[in-house]
Structure 1
Amino acid sequence: MNIKTIIMAIVLPLSFQGFAQLKAVDYKDGQQVLSGFGIKPKSELKDKPGVLVLPAWFGVDEHSKESAEKLAELGYYSFVADIYGKDNRPKNSSEAGKNAGYYKKNVAEYQKRIQLALDQLIKLGANPDKIVVMGYCFGGTGAIEAARANLKVQGVVSFHGGLGKDVTRATEKITTKILVLHGADDPFVPKEEVDSFQAEMRSSGADWQMVYYANAVHAFTHKDAGSDNSKGAAYNELADKRSWIAFKDFLKEVL
């Protein structure tokens, strides 16, 4: 038996078992080419639910892709959104901050890019009536914006995301269920912002939950964030594990 035959003997059974793989998907916003990643579940759940993953401020990254793969393992269709564009990926923190800041200020454009990604998730095979949007940091802000825009999703989940909203924006009724998973010591989301967000949730009539994780700061799910809380952003293994469990429970409830 030659080496090619041996490789085929290994690979073919894996493919027949339906192992899910992320696939790059190009789509457009006008002339801007966007490039996300879609993945189908190995064994889909009843009603074909889907989850849209919104990455942190550097855009599509390994963390967001790993989350999509984990969701596929659980039976969900998943798609990692590209908010910035194929040729607009930030090269450093300065560019990432500039890109994220633009969409935080121009929320209608952020919401549009989220909707375009939702369209791709549905094209992938997800049931349009069974979708949740989740996001990390900047993506967590996007998840909240999806709820504020009342996009057609059953729920949104923010992992250590920004919660602020321009005071000149009206507070609309929110029909989407909301889960916020928040570091109790996150210095990038001050108490005033949290208080304003909670007041907004009450005024909007939203069905919302907010869970705090002790000793956790910003980016507590990102393993590449280091372990020094004094920097304001750091990985926290316990908060990471607890928040993922809360997220899975939320998915079961709303989907």
Structure 2
Amino acid sequence: MTSKLTPLAVGIALSLGAGTALAQLQTETVKYSVDGKTFTGYIAWNDAIEGKRPGVLVVHEWWGHNEFARDQAEKLAAAGYTAFALDMYGEGKVTDHPDEAQAFMKEATGDLESLKARFTAAMEELRQHDTVDGSRIAAQGYCFGGAVVLNMARLGMDLDGVVSYHGSLGSPIEPEPGTITARIQVYTGGADQMVPADQVAGFVASMQNAEADFSVTSFPGVRHSFMNPGADAVAEEHGMPIGYDQDAAERSWEGTMRFYQDIFSQ
């Protein structure tokens, strides 16, 4: 376990006006095994908070378990949750090239049972943490990760809620009414070429047929990967139709915080 002096931790300290706050953000790298493969997760919590609290799983973009995913876990810890940035690829698979990312994603999504097993193992790691109330668990995902958390909800996994940011909304899973117990929030870009309008409409129809409790927020003119501040540099380097949008990112995060306050207070 390490106390990490990240920019976020410094920000927390400054906002509280106390140098001791630097020690409050705790992080730990966790190794775990699924079907004989090694996976690396990253857990973050605030040790200034007493007692058990809800846990939130963070599922990375198609690039793999990278710094952005860990940063999101730290933001959640600062908000009062224990967060676990999990690893859906395993064995150190992380990249900054879209071709390799696509290959990683294709391998991970090729076997739905394996995907579920990887998610379940990470959820158990989070539940077992000393700071976590295992009866209150949510999951949020970005891009590939957004699709993952939505599919876990479609499969009826025991989650209070899931949040998808610019995640794929199509799925081979068509849940029956009553299958989905998690409440769902989706944030998507109105100019997202990877999640076009017909996919959004199909998702809405599927969720309505499943009688799910869900909401979809679409931001006009916003492209894919709008939550990630590094998206513009990737777009320029690889010619991808993606881009960061500060307003959409901030509104999505604020909506997520309200969502968690609501589902975890029930």
| TM interval, short-chain normalised | 0.7 to 0.9
Report % sequence identity: 29
Conserved in 2, the CA contact under 8 Å of 1:137 and 1:160? yes
Deviations 1:130-152 (A, max 9, x none): 11100110011111011012111
Conserved in 2, the CA contact under 8 Å of 1:160 and 1:220? yes
Question: Which residue does 2:47 correspond to in 1?
Answer: 42
Superposed counterparts of 1:87-106, under 5 Å: 87-90=92-95, 92-106=97-111
How many Å separate the matches in 2 of 1:44 and 1:162?
Answer: 35
Conserved in 2, the CA contact under 8 Å of 1:38 and 1:124? no
How many Å separate the matches in 1 of 2:21 and 2:144?
Answer: 38
Rate the CA distance shift 1:91–1:242 in 2: closer, same or farther, 3 A.
Answer: closer
How many Å separate the matches in 2 of 1:206 and 1:119?
Answer: 25
How many Å separate the matches in 1 of 2:190 and 2:21?
Answer: 45
Question: Which residue does 1:108 correspond to in 2?
Answer: 113
Question: Which residue does 1:3 correspond to in 2?
Answer: none
Deviations 1:101-128 (A, max 9, x none): 2333322221221111111111223112
Question: Which residue does 2:175 correspond to in 1?
Answer: 171
Conserved in 1, the CA contact under 8 Å of 2:30 and 2:42? yes
- Is structure 2 residue 144 aligned with structure 1 residue 138? yes
* 1:238 equivalent among 241, 247, 254: 247
Conserved in 2, the CA contact under 8 Å of 1:157 and 1:180? yes
Question: Which residue does 1:180 correspond to in 2?
Answer: 186
Aligned AA (1:251): Y
Rate the CA distance shift 1:109–1:45 in 2: closer, same or farther, 3 A.
Answer: farther
Question: Which residue does 1:198 correspond to in 2?
Answer: 204
SS at match of 1:109: helix
Rate the CA distance shift 1:203–1:78 in 2: closer, same or farther, 3 A.
Answer: same
- Is structure 2 residue 259 aligned with structure 1 residue 250? yes
Conserved in 1, the CA contact under 8 Å of 2:139 and 2:159? yes
CA RMSD across the alignment: 2.2
Question: Which residue does 1:53 correspond to in 2?
Answer: 58
- Taking structure 1 as the reference length, the TM-score comes to 0.87
- Taking structure 2 as the reference length, the TM-score comes to 0.84
After TM superposition, the structure 1 stretch with the greater mean CA deviation from structure 2, 191-200 or 53-62, is: 191-200
Q: Which has the larger radius of gyration?
A: 1
- Is structure 2 residue 31 aligned with structure 1 residue 23? no
- Is structure 2 residue 213 aligned with structure 1 residue 207? yes
Rate the CA distance shift 1:45–1:70 in 2: closer, same or farther, 3 A.
Answer: farther
How many Å separate the matches in 2 of 1:129 and 1:23?
Answer: 22
After TM superposition, the structure 1 stretch with the greater mean CA deviation from structure 2, 226-235 or 211-220, is: 226-235
Gaps of 5+ in 2: 1-17
Aligned AA (2:195): V
